[in-house]
Amino acid sequence: MSKETDEEIDSEFIIKLTDFLGFDKERVRHLIEKNYLARNWGRYEYLLRFDKEISHIERGTILYEKDSSFEMITGFPKIRRAMVLDPTVKKHFIGLEKVAVEEKMNGYNVRIAAVRDDILAFTRSGYVCPYTTQKVKEKLSLKFFEDFPELVLYAEMVGPDNPYISKDIYNVESVEFYVFDVREKNSGKPFSISKKREILKKYGFYQAKFFGKIALETAPEEIGKIVRKLGETEREGVVIKDPEMILSPLKYTSSQSNCADLRHAFKFYNETGRDYMLSRIVREGFQTVEWNESEYEFEKRCMQLGKSILNPLRESIKNVKEGHRLCEEARIRVRNLKIVVDFQEYLNRLGVDAIFEEPQFVGGEYLITIKKLNKSTTDKTQAIWQGELW
């Protein structure tokens, strides 16, 4: 293809995009040039993703040509956090009689949709993850997408064979997809809670646990109880929703979840953002005051916080002292080793420094341990052990 033809096609493509997005041509060109509107690679090159929030289009939104126009899969809307339940919940949902409360699960956020005769799983940033896509095909009833090609499932991938966030707490053997939102393509319009739960049930999808609709007046107290209960089994917390999904949802998490975040953060202390650490610590302060804890409970919380910080720090510092390099272990499970190659290439493209160990054949499938290297914390810790100054 000659350079001229390339440019002509490009021009035509940009005009079509201009029409669809309602931006002017210069702006669209700028977005492409800056890679704010970037292409996936390989066979998914036709999928554009917003690498940045642009005029209310969420980061991670996906765009591709469909018939003579475009189709859009909107990104994950950012869910804001209540630091205290009272008065935040009452104030945010003012005017509603009841709020719907669902479990916030600790997994990997994916969107699943039919795209050009295929079913794809998109990450938060808008990449097609080959491993997650394969798992979707194995685990979900795909008839849903035949019946509703215009809908997108917003789900949490949970379980031990999750290469991103591996958790054993959900009683899942390998991985499962827990759907928490159903939305329309293009508009991103969500289903109401009841409509969502009904359609998901019909197709046999797992759903985030539903704690029912709770009167707004008593919601802070009741949600407090639910979150404390969830915390006892290391579960993350809740998302509080307008049953009609018109007002935006709020999240609130358990102390155990804050501490789990801190354990991970301090294990890789030089990789983690300072704001990430601080916000989780400050949450502990607000929770103990809002819940009016006794000195005994407070001391327990102090000990838990101190250990959540110092234990992983000590582990990492010791490990490096003994000559190890720090890494995060994850695991995947596949039927076909081709997926491993695809996934490895995918991580590579994303710049993740990962070592894939030899596949183990178990129960008709292959288990592969992946070690993601944490170079920054390893190098910093090593330098300190070699006498470098802070």
Stretch that binds a second copy, among 11-19, 44-52, 58-66, 278-286 (CB under 8 A): 278-286
User: Which part of the chain contacts a second copy (CB under 8 A), choosing from 112-120, 184-192, 293-301, 346-354?
Assistant: 293-301
Is the bond into 77 cis (omega within 30 degrees of 0)? no
Nearer to a second copy, 169 or 384 (CB): 384
**DSSP letter string, 6-38:** HHHHHHHHHHHHHHHHT--HHHHHHHHHTTSEE
* C-alpha span between 279 and 251 (Å, rounded): 14
Q: Least separation, in Å, of the C-beta of 278 and a second copy?
A: 6
Output 232 or 388, the one with its CB closest to a second copy.
388
- Tokens, residue 119: 């079913």
- Planar angle of CA 353, 358, 364, nearest 5 degrees: 125
Residues 244-273 that bind a second copy (CB under 8 A): 250, 266, 269
236 forms part of the interface with a second copy (CB under 8 A): no
DSSP-assigned states of every residue in 307-341: HHHHHHHHHHHHHHHTTPPPEEEEEEEESSTHHHH
CA distances from 364 to 277, 316, 356, 357, 361 (A): 42, 36, 19, 18, 7
238 binding a second copy? (CB under 8 A): no
Which of residues 361 and 390 has its CB atom nearest to a second copy in the complex?
390
**x/- letters, 304..343, toward a second copy (CB under 8 A):** xxxx-xxx-xx-xxx--x----------------------
Site string for a second copy, 78-117 (x = CB under 8 A): --xxxxx--xx-xxx-------------------------
Using the minimum distance from each CB to a second copy, give the nearer residue, 119 or 313.
313
Phi, psi (rounded to 5 degrees) for 270: -90, -10
For position 297 contacting a second copy by CB under 8 A, the verdict is no
Size of the site for a second copy (CB under 8 A): 50
- For residues 350 and 383, which CB has a smaller minimum distance to a second copy in the complex? 383
Give the Cα separation of 44 and 63 in Å (integer).
Answer: 11
Q: Does 240 bind a second copy (CB under 8 A)?
A: no
3-state DSSP of 289-308: HHCCCCHHHHHHHHHHHHHH
State in angstroms the smallest separation of the CB of 272 from a second copy. 9
Interaction of residue 288 with a second copy, rule CB under 8 A: yes
Stretch that binds a second copy, among 14-22, 63-71, 359-367, 378-386 (CB under 8 A): 378-386
CB of 306 to a second copy, least distance (A): 3
Rounded Cα distance, 277 and 263, in Å: 10
Q: In terms of CB distance, is 321 or 338 closer to a second copy?
A: 321
3 makes contact with a second copy (CB under 8 A): no
Could you say which DSSP state residue 268 is in? T
When asked if residue 385 is in the footprint of a second copy (CB under 8 A), the reply is yes
Quick one: tokens of 10? 């490009």
User: Residue type at 263?
Assistant: R
Site for a second copy in 159-218 (CB under 8 A): none
For a second copy, the closer of residues 310 and 337 by Cβ is: 310
Least distance CB 290 / a second copy (angstroms)? 9
- Write b or e for each residue in 355-387: b if 16 or more Cβ atoms lie within 10 A of its Cβ, otherwise e: eeeebeeeeebbbbebbbebeebbebbeeeeee
Pairwise CA distance, residues 56 & 21, whole Å: 11
Selection from 199, 248, 226, 223 nearest residue 96 by Cα: 248
Of residues 41 and 286, the one with the C-beta less far from a second copy = 286
Instruction: Select from 157, 159, 237, 154 the least CA-distant residue to 196.
Output: 154
CB of 264 to a second copy, least distance (A): 15
Residue 76 beta carbon to a second copy: minimum distance, rounded to whole angstroms:
17
Q: Report the DSSP beta bridge partners of residue 334.
A: 366
- Interacting residues with a second copy (CB under 8 A): 80-84, 87-88, 90-92, 250, 266, 269, 274-275, 277-279, 281-282, 284-286, 288-289, 298-299, 301-307, 309-311, 313-314, 316-318, 321, 384-390
